[in-house]
Amino acid sequence: MTWKKGEWILAVGGVWFLGGLVRLPVQSQTHAVSDICPREAYAGGAGFRLAVKGSGFRAGTPALNSVVEWIPLSSTVGTAPPPLERLDTSFVNGGELTATVPQRLITQQGQARVRVVTGDQASQPVPFRVLGRDGIVQLTICQLTPAATTVERPETEITVYGAGFLDAVISPAPSSQATVAQWVLGRNRVLLPTTYVSHAEVRVRAPSSVLANVGEASITMVCPARCNLLPSEPARFTVNPLPAIAVDPPMEPGVVQVPYTPRRLTVSGGTRPYGRWRTVGNLPPGLRLEPSSPTDAATATISGQPSMAGPYSFRVEVDDSAPAMAATAVRPEQVLVEAQPDLSYPGLPANGRVPADEQVLFRVASQRTSTLRMQGELVVTFEPEPTTNTGDGDEVGFLRGSTPVRSVAFTIESGCGQPCGSSEIRLRTGTVAGRITLKVNSMAMGRLQIPDSVRDRWTTPYDLVAEAPSISDVLVCKDSEESFTVTILGYSTTRDMQEALFELTPGSRGRLKTSSLSKAVAGEFRRWYDSLDSRRFGSSFAYVQGFRVLGPVSDISAISANIRNRINWGRFRPVDLERAPRCGVR
């Protein structure tokens, strides 16, 4: 702080008094006052409400609350000013405070000042004039309470805070000295019944007729007759549309024990703040309505997990804060909760055993008709039986063209149950003994995602059991007049192959010293099934055995071949050797 040489400086209660002017020490500011309303009042008038606009205002602990201070000025040079007075202050938001100025602070005309103090920091003060009765306080509207209502409400009382209001009875006819509120909305312009409270407050009645249309109305304080006062600046009063609730996405059927896709409800229109959200009627058990905040919630959510099937009707309601009579937003809803679908796979064997080396046609179907479209993914897994050595089951899968795949998409249309189900799916069972398992890997019903706990019930195993070898063909060709080769084609669901057997039938011109030959084949088959080349063939095989005859091949008319695994022998397949072609020649 600086001063000129010769100035009289006096320290009074922490306030610097300099030549009859008060200079207040100001800390570094985190808030500021931009305007006050009203800026003037009549001396000796009633106390009034003061609106303070600015920035950085705070509400918190008492030590940190923003408080409006009234700074009176001494009218006599050289005397100490009256002490500062902290006003009863209400926090509106970070940019607005309201304070009550008691009548005793405006008993004499002069100029006071107003500032805001937060903790140990004070804003720059702004002036406030107290005029004598010969002065003119301009008509001013500082605040409307309420400042909004909802259309089609009954008569509503509006308190107008400001300055310059004149005392008179307005009804039945305006007096020459009366100030009255004028309402303008569109082409509707009307003077409202006005009751004088003080020079800084009047009460206005807005009849239902002026609240019949939605829009932004203006309220102006005027003198209908001559009173040398200009109309006040208009204050805005909002007539809001009736409140309404929207739901996104729209409500749709639910499924028992399936989490319901949350629905967001939003209320619009009406007069804020909004009241308590509630449901009336039968909300499905397991679902709940939750507002986004405890007070003034413009949104809420319906979510949960339905626990009981059936049709349910309910409505969602929320009240607004229209002053004369709250308006209620109502949203009627109907929700069907369905029982869980019961999927099956018609076309696959009911006994849980599938044949080897087959292509089985089946569908995914629901035993119950649903109003929701079902879409999902079906996967197949294969686990070879322990005795099949390195069985891999690469042949097992859903056929897409000629290539087996391990997953396939399916769809069951809404309203479609067991009679139609999904489109046909082709399952290739392969040639390896083991367990084929079908599992619904994912599924949605409408927007509902079916959880694992439900989908696991549709997991179904099918056993491809170990059986005796299946011999599809025996091929014989002659290498020379003394030798020939036998090829046995087939598959063995168990790869534990043990023995091959060949029985010879003599020709018409000779006798055979050897009529039956057997050979252990376990080692050869193990090497084949362990090789990478065998993977794409499952358990199929082509066993080749060569023979050399001590004499002409023509002494043998036919040969029968068979092969045995750990289960049993296959079926003998005889071949006419006399008609066998030469090897390498078709």
pLDDT digits 0-9 by tens, 50-68: 999 999 999 977 778 999 9
What CATH number corresponds to the domain at position 166? 2.60.40.10
Are 394 and 494 found together in one domain?
Answer: no
Total-model pTM: 0.70
Residue-wise pLDDT for 315-329, tens only, equals: 999 999 999 999 999
Give the Cα separation of 447 and 462 in Å (integer). Answer: 31
- Residue 261 CA, distance from chain mean position: 7
Residue 276 and residue 177 in one domain = no
- What are the two backbone dihedrals, phi and then psi, of residue 172, each rounded to the nearest 5 degrees? -85, -20
- Residue 423 shares a structural domain with residue 313: no
SS3 of 473-533: EEEEEECCCCEEEEEEEEECCCCCEEEEEEEEEECCCCCCCCCEEEEECHHHHHHHHHCHH
pLDDT of residue 162: 94
Residues 376 and 455 in one domain: yes
Last residue in a domain, options 308, 338, 368: 338
For 166-187, write each residue's pLDDT tens digit.
Answer: 875 444 444 555 789 999 998 8
Do residue 348 and residue 457 come from a single domain? yes
Is there a domain that residue 2 lies in?
Answer: no
Percent of the chain past pLDDT 90, that is, above it, reads: 65
DSSP letter assigned to residue 105: G
One domain, residues 231 and 256: no
282 token code pair:
């039968």
Query: Is the domain of 117 the same as that of 29?
Result: yes
Distance in angstroms (rounded) separating the CA atoms of residues 273 and 315: 21
The residue from 183, 207, 240 where one domain ends is 240
**Co-location of 155 and 234 in the same domain:** yes
Q: Does 71 share its domain with 19?
A: yes
- 584 is a domain residue: no
- Number of separate domains in the chain: 5
Residue 122 lies in a domain: yes
Query: By residue range, what is the domain housing residue 150?
Result: 140-240
Helix (H) or strand (E) segment spanning residue 472: strand 470-478
Q: Is residue 1 part of a domain?
A: no
Q: For residue 336, name the pLDDT band (cuts at 50, 70, 90).
A: very high
Q: What Cα–Cα distance (Å) separates residue 345 from each residue in 409, 474, 504?
A: 14, 37, 48
* Lowest model confidence (mean pLDDT) among 127-131, 254-258, 415-419: 415-419
